[in-house]
Structure 1
């Protein structure tokens, strides 16, 4: 009998991250070189040129039962950090951990096909990679790009900036619901469409001077990313919770159903952010829901809102205005 690869996952997609509280304990007492910056990417100047090498790495456990789609989502998820910095990915190394003897190599081949197709669509050259036998499937990319200008930082917001999302939220809860066969065909199609849509529009956002800061919503959820974006500048965010787009399947669920489908990391995310003003309980669950290949979260100067809106309209892509920086 074929094993569903999700049965081998300890936390679907980006939901397998360490909780923020665990990261704090792990990094306590270590140097800043080990911890790195709060930025989504690492950069390295090339001497005698005006070029920066921009890099990031990300890998995830299965969040979908379709292996080829898993490969696509893992690839796009890894590219997100560069997209969120306004940088086009150009090259990638593949990370593949696979329980070869338990489930064979056919699934791994389908994962690789998903990665290959996605990299071709995004104009990313596969440079190589590394694979090992492992108890759990883990798939991802180390991604590289270059920039001749200052990259967009995740925390360079200003008072009065407006906050936007590029996608709907709720894929962590939605994927749990799909695993339990609680979604109809239309809801499954919406879930798979949202989680497999590229955030390449971030490269174009990076060309707009009025886009002041940008990041992507990851396994720590929207609320943690909002804190990361504003806290270092001593600023606050104010969100209109009713303006946040979410999957239709999530919108129809009762509070009891949401609590039942909330991921382990989602529950921890809510616990880790209780020190902030608490939104309505439904929104609190959504704001802590781990996102895989999640939306871009970005701030825009009020004078550039029309330019950003036009960009999304021309791309035929949803744009969610969710609040502002105070």
Structure 2
């Protein structure tokens, strides 16, 4: 991490995807809202609010679908360039999570202009630009706001096959569950905010694009996936299993976790977002076979996490399976 006079994480009430509105509260807010316009000249809305997917998808013509998404958040690390890279990687992930390819993105920047120097904002934007260039996605303009709390992210438009979208509601009994990145970045980011310790392994995870995983999932014929971000593995898996009408069974011992994350949980570096995630899924989840520490890791609010795919992927561990709906929507063993 660069030596800096300003620790960006100290200017935010929460960090990264842990600053999201809690999932239960969010569902209450959007419940009953309709986004579909019958016979719209804009095309058929393929994916909207109903299944809690990562982005919206509209059929353009034939098999072409446009994917639209946006994601932005407060600083998750102190280094402005790394924060820009992480936020951009996270925003692009919503397109990959639906099996698409990002085409163009717009910057979303909120900046406390009287508190933080603009040189730091330049570094944030440079990080976002470098990630978009790596992804082959145009970054063209955007919007900025004078805000007392720094925030950064992207609005992204992509393309996908309308018939091969990866969706929350595409899960079926008998399918294995694969996870492409380890958990634990949330607790390590919380520790970083509290102590200033740096965790290069967490930054590496958060800046790794999900592009290859998405391509592999589509090529294998899989049709159900999501990315694991602010609602944690348990939260996103609950949404997927609920939308698909199945139960998800998780082998907790098979879930990959960053080396330093378990110690961080034991020492209390758990965000409020992670605890709210666990509170939300607990009534629908059988957690009787695992410790509270394990449950917190499985609910850890990830920033720019991996893809959770209903199907096998090369190099990705299988962490469980989908089975016919039982008493619980999620079972952890």
* Deviation for aligned residue 1:182: 7.6
1:109 maps to: 122
Quick check: 1:277 aligned with 2:286? yes
Correspondence for 1:163: 177
CA RMSD of aligned residues (A): 1.9
State the TM-score, normalizing by the size of structure 2. Answer: 0.86
Distance 1:70 1:33 in 2: 32
2:262 aligned with 1:262: no
For 2:265 and 2:213, how far apart are their aligned partners in 1?
34
> Once structures 1 and 2 are overlaid, which stretch shifts more, 50-59 or 87-96?
50-59
- Kindly indicate whether residue 257 of structure 2 is the aligned counterpart of residue 246 of structure 1: yes
Contact 2:265 2:297 in 1 (8 A): no
Residue 41 of structure 2 is matched in structure 1 by none
- Indicate how the Cα distance of structure 1 residues 144 and 166 shifts in structure 2: closer, same or farther if over 3 A, else same: same
Find the counterpart in structure 2 of residue 174 from structure 1: 188
Partner of 2:15: 12
For 1:159 and 1:282, the matched residues in 2 are separated by 29
Structure number having the greater helix percentage = 1
- For residue 39 of structure 1, report the CA deviation from its aligned partner: 1.8
Name 1:24's counterpart in structure 2. 27
How far apart, in 1, do the equivalents of 2:271 and 2:301 lie? 8
Is the Cα–Cα contact under 8 Å of residues 56 and 68 in structure 2 kept in the other structure? Answer: yes
Aligned length: 304
What SS is found at the alignment partner of 1:143? strand
Correspondence for 2:6: 3
Does 2:318 align with 1:321?
yes
Deviation at 1:2, TM superposition (A): 2.7
Q: Is the 8 A contact 2:10 2:193 kept in 1?
A: no
What aligned pairs does 1:83-162 form with structure 2 within 5 A after superposition?
Answer: 83-150=96-163, 151-162=165-176
Conserved 8 A contact 2:86-2:207: yes
TM-score (norm: length of structure 1): 0.88
2:130 and 2:243 mapped to 1: Cα distance?
Answer: 39
Identify unmatched segments of 5+ residues in structure 2: 37-47, 324-333
Contact 2:187 2:265 in 1 (8 A): no
Following the alignment from structure 1 to structure 2, what is the Cα–Cα distance between the partners of residues 232 and 198? Answer: 26
